[in-house]
Amino acid sequence: MLAAAPGRLDLGGVTSISSAALARKLLADGRSDFDRVVSLADEAAAVIGAHGGPLSLAGIVAAATTRDAISEPQARLLARHAGPLALDGLASLPEPVAAALAGHAGGLSLPGVRTLSAAAAAALEPHRGSLELSGIARPDPAVEESLARHVGPLSVDGLESLASAALARRLVADGRREFGGLRDLSAEAAAVLAGLEGTLFLDGLGSLAPDVAAALAAHADDLSLDGLESLDEPAARALAGHRGDLSLGGLVAPTPEVTQALARHAGPVHRGTASRATDR
């Protein structure tokens, strides 16, 4: 048995470690280079992950890139990696795994994760590196609040729904200015985005509630809502308070009431082809 062998072990071409005893033996021999190892039993991963000294884990990190699931011990070991972690294949993120990865000091990319529980999102909050969750499209409200509290830089470029003002403020503070992929927007989040300078592109919105329209009307610069194919009169009246250029390229057949409400808009209004005869 390798773990019981006297003297220092030479792993040679060994690429997997299946026992905690062997992992302990290797660490006791002073080994910190595990670059050739691509597979570890959970008990071995737990032993190596708890080691206090430096570790080199290139093989394990590379193998984890394509895995669709990892265990908590594996996650704790990966968190010891000194560089960024790109776990592109990871499709789910249970709370214990999220908590383990939150201990990673570097960047963490999880583009394959499509859903995130409130518990997992809360577990990620203390992570200090950058966090990329481009697969998250419609997070629950509690998830949005946790993402807003993430310590490190945050990227959620696939976001289609934004309800939380806290998350909107966080994304703006992190430098995000493109929100054209949003399909749903709350009035509270809209009020935050309205404070941005320059043209605000929200061409992904397919509908516009009056309270959201009122919030966006406060935007001081141009506003593009080209994804709207219909608009009701209350929302049109709310938009009339906007003072920059207003683009409604998808609005091709507004009702007379909507047309009349938009006529009171202080700046130019650009509408779809079928209704351009009424543009000012």
At 236-259, the pLDDT tens digits run 999 999 999 999 999 988 999 999
Q: State the Cα–Cα distance between residues 273 and 271, nearest whole angstrom.
A: 7
pTM: 0.87
- Predicted confidence at residue 12, as pLDDT, reads 58
Residue 175 burial by CB count (10 A; 0-12/13-18/19+): exposed, middle or buried? exposed
Q: Are strands 154-155 and 16-17 parallel, antiparallel or unpaired?
A: unpaired
Say if residue 260's pLDDT is above 60: yes
- pLDDT confidence tier of residue 2, bands split at 50, 70 and 90: very low
Say if residue 31's pLDDT is above 50: yes
Say if residue 279's pLDDT is above 70: no
CB 203 within 8 A of CB 225: yes
Domain layout of the chain by residue ranges? 190-280
Q: What is the pLDDT of residues 129-158, one digit of tens each?
A: 999 999 999 999 999 999 999 999 999 999
Say if residue 8's pLDDT is above 90: no
The residue count for the chain:
280
Q: What does the longest C-alpha to C-alpha distance in the chain come to?
A: 91
Say if residue 1's pLDDT is above 80: no
Say if residue 277's pLDDT is above 60: no
Say if residue 101's pLDDT is above 80: yes
Say if residue 128's pLDDT is above 60: yes
If you average pLDDT over every residue of the chain, what do you get? 92
- Predicted confidence at residue 4, as pLDDT, reads 47
Say if residue 186's pLDDT is above 80: yes
Three-class SS of the chain: CHHHCCCCCCCCCCCEECCHHHHHHHHHCCCCECCCCCEECHHHHHHHHCCCCCCECHHHHHHHCCCCCCCHHHHHHHCCCCCCEECCCCCCCCHHHHHHHCCCCCCEECCCCCCCCHHHHHHHCCCCCCEECCCCCCCCHHHHHHHHCCCCCEECCCCCEECCHHHHHHHHHCCCCCCCCCCEECHHHHHHHCCCCCCEECCCCCCCCHHHHHHHCCCCCCEECCCCCCCCHHHHHHHCCCCCCEEECCCCCCCHHHHHHHCCCCCCEEECHHHHHHCC
- pLDDT confidence tier of residue 228, bands split at 50, 70 and 90: very high
Q: For residue 105, count other CB atoms closer than 10 A to its CB.
A: 14
- pLDDT confidence tier of residue 272, bands split at 50, 70 and 90: confident
